[in-house]
């Protein structure tokens, strides 16, 4: 095997619709949700090494260490074990721009990039279906990022049905300094259960493509639980709508709130409102891809 190096970038996601259908016997919740990739990216460099997994960040972040609590490391070790039978290794460098624990899928997105990058490095020919199986072992959102764009998720979120891309729409992402853990959101008992029809219906709104129609179709059954644990989320939503946002919703289990804007100028103006110490506020737009090789 000759040495090789790859550079990839991988997007964040929002969930315009997230429906909690029921609690399953395995302790997880059955979901019906819409995934939408957006133009906020992490970048990774992957390079072959002789053995094992090495992880590096130029600017280290607390909570992202070189162990299996880091999905990047976990994904690389899983690929080495199940696809390469531990013959070979990989060095992974990460430039992190998607906030941690934000409901934006950054860790899952990075894990998908590692799976695709290692397959490209080692040319095993294992195929997308095998990678989907690995992705499901890593986390509910990982499989989505193998293709990205727009998709309907079911099961725990790992069963992905891609949708044709719709028109691009503009968004603002607002993440407060405080965080939320997904298990605590589910354990709160405040989630709203529904029947899955909103997620299916969202495709029609996305096809029409007008920001106002899209904003009117937003729904997240976890939002009441997120607001119960972090009331600041409700204040963010109110401030966004007061300043011209067409509709706002918490993404995933939070705490990031995304707002649908009339246009890019409006999204940028909304982001400036939350230019505060410790906050992340960004104007982005939807995109029709997942992991990209640079």
**Active site includes 13?**
yes
d(CA 114, CA 75) in angstroms, rounded, equals 6
Structure tokens at 203: 């495709």
With beta carbons less than 8 A apart as the criterion, state whether 95 and 56 touch: no
Pinpoint the alpha helices (H) of the chain.
Answer: 71-82, 106-122, 127-138, 142-147, 182-187, 197-208, 211-216, 223-229, 232-242, 264-273
Cα three-residue angle 291-13-289, rounded to 5 degrees:
35
**Active site includes 141?**
yes
Q: Which one of the listed residues 42, 96, 110, 141 is annotated catalytic?
A: 141
Task: Specify the DSSP class assigned to residue 158.
Answer: T
C-alpha separations of 160 from 133, 134, 192, 262, 293 in Å: 12, 14, 23, 29, 22
Catalytic residues: 13, 141
């Amino acid at each position: 095997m000759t040495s090789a190096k790859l550079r990839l970038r991988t997007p964040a996601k929002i969930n315009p619709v997230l429906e909690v259908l029921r609690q399953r016997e395995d302790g997880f919740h059955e979901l019906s949700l819409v995934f939408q990739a957006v133009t906020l990216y992490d970048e990774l460099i992957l390079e072959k090494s002789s053995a094992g997994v090495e992880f590096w960040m130029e600017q280290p972040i607390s909570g992202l260490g070189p162990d299996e609590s880091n999905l990047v490391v976990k994904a690389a070790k899983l690929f080495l074990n199940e696809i390469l039978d531990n013959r070979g290794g990989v060095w992974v460098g990460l430039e992190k721009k998607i906030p941690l624990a934000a409901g934006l899928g950054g860790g899952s997105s990075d894990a998908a990039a590692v799976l695709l990058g290692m397959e490209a490095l080692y040319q095993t020919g294992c195929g997308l279906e095998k990678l989907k199986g690995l992705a499901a072992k890593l986390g509910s959102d990982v499989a989505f990022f193998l293709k990205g764009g727009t998709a309907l998720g079911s099961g725990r979120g790992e069963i992905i049905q891609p949708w044709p891309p719709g028109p691009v729409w503009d968004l603002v992402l607002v993440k407060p300094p405080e965080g939320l853990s997904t298990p605590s959101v589910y354990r709160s008992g405040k989630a709203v259960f529904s029947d899955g029809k909103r997620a299916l219906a969202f495709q029609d709104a996305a096809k029409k493509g007008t920001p106002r129609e899209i904003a009117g179709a937003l729904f997240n059954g976890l939002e009441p639980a997120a607001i119960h644990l972090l009331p600041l989320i409700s204040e963010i939503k109110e401030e966004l709508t007061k300043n011209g946002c067409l509709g706002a919703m918490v993404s995933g289990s939070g705490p990031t709130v995304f707002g649908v804007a009339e246009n890019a100028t409006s999204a940028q103006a909304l982001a400036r409102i939350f230019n505060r110490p410790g906050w992340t506020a960004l104007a982005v737009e939807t995109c029709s891809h997942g992991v990209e090789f640079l």
